[in-house]
A and B are shown apart, each in its own frame.
Chain A
Amino acid sequence: MRRSPLLIGLHYTALVILACLCVAPIALIFVTSLRNQTQIFGEPLNLLFTPTLENYRAVLGEDNFARYLGNSLIVGVVSTALTLLLGCMAAYGLARFRFPGRTAVAYATLMLRTVPLAVLALPVFMIWSRWNMVNSLSGLILLYVAVNLPFTIWLLYGFVIQIPIELEEAAALDGCGPIGIFYKVFLPLIRPGLAAAAIFTFRIAWNEFILALVLTDRGTRTLPVATSLYITDIGVDWGKIMALGSLIAIPPLIFTLVAARQIITGLTAGAVKG
């Protein structure tokens, strides 16, 4: 069916307006981060201002900035790597073997996927205190791995069950051991799923700040926690906070631009057959 040019024009207009609505508030963070105090307070609607990097200079010049950035990177990268490793092993095990307790593990995992983080904060703080893991990066990493595993396992499970078992049997006949099958046959085939899982896990580990606020101190703070501390009873230091907010937003922005398809795979996994 051919559509009239008018309809096509309206279609694109609607798409562009929607895209702008999605992007504008995020763009506003960047724009505000380039304004000085007077510009922020005096003329909010004036978009013709002289940009300044003074907020970035102030934020990057803070004593602990490098440390917070380092903490965030360690937590993000290590949590993601561990979640992917454990998650794809578990997805493979659940999909390929029938063993006692399989159903119990499977259902427990499915239910854990939706636990509200607010509910976890207090008991985790109690238990981590007992295990001497409060204020340590490893404590935060352990928690992020645990809360991201359920989603990762089920996302990857969907990929594993689509791989014909004959492929692995053929590899086994050719003399490939179980470990070899896992690395040489299976891992390459689930790569799109791994990409989606990595982005979603990194997103949580990099962005999350309530659990991180509770479980870290001056030495182990991540960037989102440091940002939230610019909000005080006296008010909000908008210039600096928007500069930090912009810096935090960079990795998710990059992922979205280069791997939108994988992200959509992750979002629609389980509900819509690709």
Chain B
Amino acid sequence: MRTPSWVPLVYVGPAAAVMAAACLYPLISGIQLGFFDWSMGTPWADAHWVGLRHFRTAFADPAVWSSLRVTLLFAFVCVTAEMSLGIALALLLEAPARAMAFFRSMFILPMMIAPIAVGLTWRYLFDAQFGFVNAILQHVGMAPHAWLADPSLSFIAIVVSDIWQWTPFVLIMMLAALASVDGSVLEASRIDGATWWQMTWRVKLPMVAHVIAITLLMRVIDAFRVLEVIYILTFGGPGDATEILSLHIYKAAFVSQNLGSAAAISVLLLAVVALLSCVALRFSNPLKQEKM
């Protein structure tokens, strides 16, 4: 079937134009801003080239390093907990059960609800004076804590909220993956006398390793993108104990109006996420799948 060369343009052009104008162009401008001195409200013509100055300032700033440390720790703790919990739960719950559709829809609720509601709920639960967590602690005779006013406890609070929201994602992915495992392979290993433990580690998990890898990468990328829940829950506080890079960028841009710094740190965050995305594409690339 011969198609004129303008036909693909009609189909792909509009979407490409919108993404170029409202996503790619802002990204490039943002990176460009990292190399210029410019302040909000002045014409772009007044901006002047400052080379790597913003990057040097940013990397000399202990607040940026502290934010980077918080981000890496947050991503590491959350993703490790979510992956291990999610995989373990999927292995325990994979057997067919009635009303599984109902349970699955309960599990996706935390991901569908507005981040603002998630942030508020946990802020309410962890409230020092009338929060549920303290009320329960006191009920069982333990001392209450000022959760969101203590640096390490507030870090625990943001980790708990993320684990609550995203462990179900890993669970759903793993349940889908385990369901797609070829039953005859499992049957064969059972006939050969494999125990549940052996079947899990030697047969099932290796067969879904690909899904584990892509789920892990998706979770890591998303952990670097978290912003809204933490904005509501702690706004980075107390001090900068929970100020992840996204929030640091937001504050630099819109609170302290340090635009060059915001742009420089944005480049850093973009580089991390882009690198992870490239790795993810090696595992799951829709362009390659079609050739199978």
- On A, residues with C-beta under 8 Å from B are 1, 3, 11-12, 14-15, 18-19, 21-23, 25-26, 28-29, 32, 40-42, 44-45, 86-87, 89-90, 92-95, 97, 99, 102-103, 105-127, 130, 142-143, 145-147, 149-150, 153-154, 157-158, 161, 169, 172, 178, 203, 206-210, 214, 224, 227-228, 231, 236, 238, 241-242, 245, 248-249, 252-253, 255-257, 260-261, 263-264, 267-268, 270-274
Contact B12 A25 (CB under 8 A): no
Chain B residues with CB under 8 A of A264: 104, 108, 172, 176
Chain B, 15-44, CB within 8 A of any chain A CB: 15-16, 18-19, 21-27, 29-30, 33, 40, 44
A-B contact pairs, 11 of them (CB 8 A): A25-B118, A26-B117, A28-B124, A29-B117, A32-B124, A89-B14, A94-B12, A123-B29, A123-B33, A146-B23, A260-B105
| SS class, residues of chain A in contact with chain B | helix
Provided the pairs A210-B227, A270-B286 are in contact, do residues A120 and B125 lie with their beta carbons within 8 angstroms?
Answer: no
B1: which of A92, A169, A252 is its contact (CB, 8 Å)?
Answer: A169
B110: which of A26, A42, A109 is its contact (CB, 8 Å)?
Answer: A26
B225: which of A106, A114, A178 is its contact (CB, 8 Å)?
Answer: A114
Contact B224 A115 (CB under 8 A): no
- On B, residues with C-beta under 8 Å from A are 1, 3, 5, 7-12, 14-16, 18-19, 21-27, 29-30, 33, 40, 44, 89, 92-93, 95, 97, 101, 103-118, 120-125, 129-132, 135-136, 139, 164, 168-169, 172-173, 176-177, 180, 190, 210-211, 214-215, 218, 221, 224-225, 227-228, 231-232, 245-247, 249-250, 253-254, 259, 262-263, 266, 269-270, 273-274, 276-277, 280-281, 284-287, 289-290
Contact B123 A236 (CB under 8 A): yes
Contact A268 B172 (CB under 8 A): yes
Provided the pairs A90-B16, A145-B18 are in contact, do residues A272 and B173 lie with their beta carbons within 8 angstroms?
Answer: yes
Contact B8 A87 (CB under 8 A): no
Chain A residues with CB under 8 A of B132: 28, 44-45
A228: which of B180, B232, B246 is its contact (CB, 8 Å)?
Answer: B232
Contact A14 B22 (CB under 8 A): no
Cα distance A241–B125 when bound, in Å?
A: 14
Contact B105 A45 (CB under 8 A): no
Contact B173 A263 (CB under 8 A): no
Cα distance A106–B269 when bound, in Å?
A: 22
Ranked nearest first, the 8 interchain pairs of A and B with the lowest CB-CB distance are A93-B11, A146-B22, A260-B105, A118-B246, A90-B15, A123-B30, A207-B114, A93-B12
Cα distance A248–B121 when bound, in Å?
A: 13
Contact A209 B228 (CB under 8 A): yes
A255: which of B15, B112, B180 is its contact (CB, 8 Å)?
Answer: B112
Chain A nearest Cβ from B285, distance in angstroms: 8
Which has the most chain A C-beta neighbours within 10 Å: B114, B115, B132, B169? B114
Cα distance A1–B96 when bound, in Å?
A: 12
Chain B residues with CB under 8 A of A105: 12, 16
Provided the pairs A121-B253, A149-B15, A248-B117 are in contact, do residues A256 and B23 lie with their beta carbons within 8 angstroms?
Answer: no
Cα distance A112–B281 when bound, in Å?
A: 12
Chain B residues with CB under 8 A of A28: 121, 124-125, 132
Which has the most chain B C-beta neighbours within 10 Å: A15, A119, A125, A261? A119
Contact A97 B113 (CB under 8 A): no
| Nearest A-chain residue to B14, judged by Cβ | A86
Provided the pairs A127-B25, A154-B286 are in contact, do residues A252 and B19 lie with their beta carbons within 8 angstroms?
Answer: no
Cα distance A179–B204 when bound, in Å?
A: 46
B246: which of A99, A116, A125, A268 is its contact (CB, 8 Å)?
Answer: A116
